[in-house]
Amino acid sequence: MKTTNQLRPFGMKDKLGYLFGDFGNDFTFILSTMILSKFYTDVMGVSAGVVGTIMMLARFVDAVTDVGMGRICDRSKPTAAGKFKPWLMRMCVPVAVASFLMYAPGLAGEWVSQWSAGVRIAYLAISYLLWGSFCYTGINIPYGSMASAISADPGDRQSLSTFRTMGGMLAGMVIGIGLPLIAYEKTPLADGTVKETLIGSKVALAAAIFSVLAVVCYILCYKLTVERVRVENSGEQQGASVGAMLKSAFSNRALISIIAASVVMLLAQLTMQNMAAYIYPDYYNNATAQSASTMLMMVGMIGAAVIAKPLAAKFGKAEVSVVSNLFAGVVMVVIWIIKPANVWVYCGLQMVSWLSLGVFSMVSWALITDVIDYSELRNGVREDGSVYALYSFARKLGQALAAGLSGWMLEGIGYNSQAAADGLKQTEAVLDGIFNISTLLPALGFVLLALVLWFWYPLHKKQVDANVAALKEKRGE
């Protein structure tokens, strides 16, 4: 390994560039977590259980494509731009087009209603695999691996983690505020009330806009960042098989525990996001409040961004993550107990939960760079792409579990997708079930995440500081 000293020093351009990278990622990723299930239940008439199952099964494909992309990155020769950056330009258009195709049937209007159930399910499966397992993998693995190549300094990496999270939050704010305002219409019912109804053509239009914005963000990421840490491929690295890499990974406590933590974290966080598409328009009958809740979430995340770095520097990334997740879990239990009738009380309490979760989100990407350093010291080989690929696979597994579990639980409480497509209200029992899923499942996830990070994950502050010192000595710095 060598650090190129002739390049400009790490600075704000790198931070902003890395922010734009996750901005681009989440224009398609957050859109899928926020509306894809709702689109296929309410517009396409596919049952929630089938949607969740397809998302879950797609992760078995990712087990191959994510690891494969990581190996491609590790074995590729660095170009003048670096080893990882060129993939941003190669894949930005394909991932944007693939994302739009998932929602394109919304433009077909009444024609879609003539499709058989099998055709609708097949279209969902093929388009979702194309986007998530191939195109998104092809750009997200190199992008995530870039963090350890942009700088070797732990403080710089923490800054990249914070800015990456803020990029995702900005995308979430744009989508979370804009989509409910654009995609829903008020439908009058026979009893004189109105219901918020999702309109397929408007979802497709929003997806097209977000796809274009994603491409712009990826280009900005490419232009603003610099890869300073260059890894020369050794014969050992070139010859290592996938089997040997996986065997090493499964005996790597730090990697396995952070993978488990990521699955649990996304199970909790994305359940909150997935269920927002049901609790606001269905339980509270107020899709506008969903936009407001996203704004409040952003306020919480900004607060977390201010305090996360100094707290992590003083107490350790894993340590502050444990405390913040325990607090987030307690807040969600409180919401479940008091069951606020006023939607704005619900939004305010959820903002407190997002503030707590945000502290962990700000440091989460720096945790994986700590794992990459630990793996290098343990194995003697630098494999940024392969380690990040396994981590990315875990995140997508958590995404799928959240979508799958949400879909299966909606199916279990009797959510009627046909009634939703026809603009009818759900029963009171179903509405109560929606509230319980939206609060109790995330609460359980946050508490479990805290336990994993405290009792299983080994890289607490003292060990991380020792690893950084050992790597500096190894590189002669």
Q: What distance in Å separates the CA atoms of residue 136 and residue 211, rounded to the nearest whole number? A: 12
pLDDT given for residue 239 in this prediction: 47
Q: Which residue has the tokens 């520097």?
A: 313
Q: pLDDT confidence of 233, banded at 50, 70, 90? A: low
Q: pLDDT confidence of 245, banded at 50, 70, 90? A: low
Q: What distance in Å separates the CA atoms of residue 452 and residue 238, rounded to the nearest whole number? A: 34
pLDDT given for residue 477 in this prediction: 59
- Report pLDDT digits (tens) over 373-395: 888 888 877 777 888 888 877 77
Q: Is 386 strand, coil or helix?
A: helix
pLDDT given for residue 61 in this prediction: 87
Nearest alpha-carbon partner for 367 in 411, 412, 414, 312? 312
- For 472, the token pair is 């500096």
pLDDT at 240 over 60: no
Q: What angle do CA 342, 287, 339 make, to 5 degrees?
A: 30
* Whole-structure pTM value: 0.71
Q: Where are the domains of the chain?
A: 11-475
Judge contact between 128 and 105, C-beta under 8 A: no
pLDDT: which is higher, 199 or 419: 199
In angstroms, what CA-CA distances link 180 with 185, 186, 317, 433? 9, 11, 35, 22
pLDDT at 232 over 70: no
CATH superfamily, with its number, for domain 11-475: MFS general substrate transporter like domains (1.20.1250.20)
pLDDT given for residue 469 in this prediction: 87
- For 160, the token pair is 């990249």
Q: What distance in Å separates the CA atoms of residue 60 and residue 220, rounded to the nearest whole number? A: 32
Contacts of 429 (CB under 8 A, 6+ apart): 413, 414
Highest mean pLDDT among 187-196, 218-227, 415-424: 218-227
Ramachandran quadrant class, 390 (left: phi over 0; alpha: psi -120 to 50; beta: rest): alpha
